[in-house]
């Protein structure tokens, strides 16, 4: 039973928005690419676990805090035989382990060793169980699920599941009988209640409102080369049509992500969308989709 589904990280959403409206550094572009790749790999593994039978609780993308230390778990599966902590990696290409370090064969770029990260998360999770006075067996694994991934010198004594082993891992998990009781339900509910919504690890490049390019972007290709044709926003690059109301709502949500401290006003949205349509249209969309606060010219929307 899926109790918490995965959602796109706010850091990823914000980086996408910034990438459309400013020139990101090579480091920030790499971070965006890495996050896109990682999220895609997590979603692929989520689909692979949709058909797990028997009684199990599944919680995706948990951020927890223990003794002032934060740790993130890509997937938690609560079963009769234990709590499975799964870290998902979607690396592509040839890699090798040298001591505690993970390297790309092609670029020789050094990556964080996911086993070390997992060991830390497993230790903190055990501490959490002790604090909660809950007794459950913990089983932690790093899953590399990209079929184009190869790991040389992979030690056999580490909790690594390679692409050729993923299906077997899921089959073995699925074939293990699992009957849950109140203790498992209590653990699941507790973990959900302890989930931290705001990620302290999220880092974004410095940006200001005035430096970002204004305009309405295409929902498909992200191009700012768009025009209004009757009641549609039309992309000059790929030709995508979108009803103007839906497009305006998208851009309001974009403002809320990038500038959560700003009050959403008709003038702000009008400027952000580069005056593509009249203020009256923006006001109509705001009144229809958001709650107005105040009734004067200083009114804003939530």
Tens-digit pLDDT profile for residues 5-56: 999 999 999 999 999 999 999 999 999 999 999 999 999 999 999 988 889 9
Cα–Cα nearest to 15, from 145, 156, 205? 205
Residue 101 pLDDT > 90: no
Under 8 Å CB-to-CB from 201, ≥6 apart: which residues? 70, 72
Span 109-122, mean pLDDT? 92
Q: How high is the pLDDT of residue 298?
A: 77
pLDDT tier, 81 (very low <50, low <70, confident <90, very high otherwise): very high
Q: How high is the pLDDT of residue 53?
A: 83
- Kindly provide the b/e burial profile for residues 137-153, where b requires at least 16 CB atoms within 10 angstroms of the residue's own CB: eebbbbbbbbeebbbee
Q: How high is the pLDDT of residue 56?
A: 96
Sign of CA dihedral 229, 235, 238, 243: negative
Span 91-97, mean pLDDT? 94
Tokens 């403002």: give the residue: 255
Span 76-100, mean pLDDT? 94
Answer whether 0.75 is exceeded by the pTM.
yes
Residue 64 near residue 200, CB atoms below 8 Å: no
For the ranges 100-114, 176-190, 246-260, the lowest mean pLDDT is seen at 100-114
Q: How high is the pLDDT of residue 201?
A: 79
- Out of 96-100, 110-114, 161-165, the most confident range is 161-165
Q: Which tens digit of pLDDT belongs to each residue from 211-235?
A: 999 999 999 999 999 999 989 999 9
């Amino acid at each position: 039973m899926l109790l918490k589904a995965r959602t796109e990280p706010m850091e990823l959403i914000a980086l996408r928005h910034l990438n459309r409206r400013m020139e990101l550094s090579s480091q920030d572009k790499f971070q965006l690419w890495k996050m896109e790749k990682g999220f895609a790999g997590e979603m692929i593994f989520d689909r692979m676990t949709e058909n797990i039978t028997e009684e199990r609780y599944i919680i995706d993308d948990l951020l927890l805090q223990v003794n002032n230390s934060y740790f993130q778990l890509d997937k938690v599966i609560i079963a009769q035989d234990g709590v499975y902590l799964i870290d998902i990696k979607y690396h592509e290409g040839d890699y090798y382990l040298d001591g505690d370090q993970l390297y790309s064969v092609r670029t020789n770029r050094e990556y964080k060793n996911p086993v070390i990260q997992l060991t830390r998360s497993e230790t903190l999770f055990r501490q959490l169980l002790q604090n909660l006075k809950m007794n459950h067996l913990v089983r932690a694994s790093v899953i590399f699920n990209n079929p184009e991934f190869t790991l040389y010198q992979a030690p056999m004594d580490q909790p690594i599941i390679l692409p050729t082993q993923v299906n077997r891992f899921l089959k073995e998990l699925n074939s293990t009988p699992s009957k849950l009781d109140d203790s498992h339900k209590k653990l699941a509910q507790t973990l959900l209640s302890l989930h931290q919504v705001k990620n302290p690890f999220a880092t974004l490049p410095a940006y200001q409102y005035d430096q970002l390019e204004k305009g309405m972007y295409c929902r498909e290709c992200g191009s700012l080369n768009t025009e209004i044709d009757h009641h549609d926003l039309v992309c000059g690059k790929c030709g995508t049509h979108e009803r103007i109301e839906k497009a305006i709502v998208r851009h309001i949500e974009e403002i809320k992500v990038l500038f959560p401290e700003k009050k959403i006003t008709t003038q702000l949205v009008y400027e952000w969308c580069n005056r593509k349509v009249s203020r009256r249209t923006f006001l109509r969309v705001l009144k229809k989709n958001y709650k107005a606060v105040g009734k004067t010219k200083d009114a804003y929307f939530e």
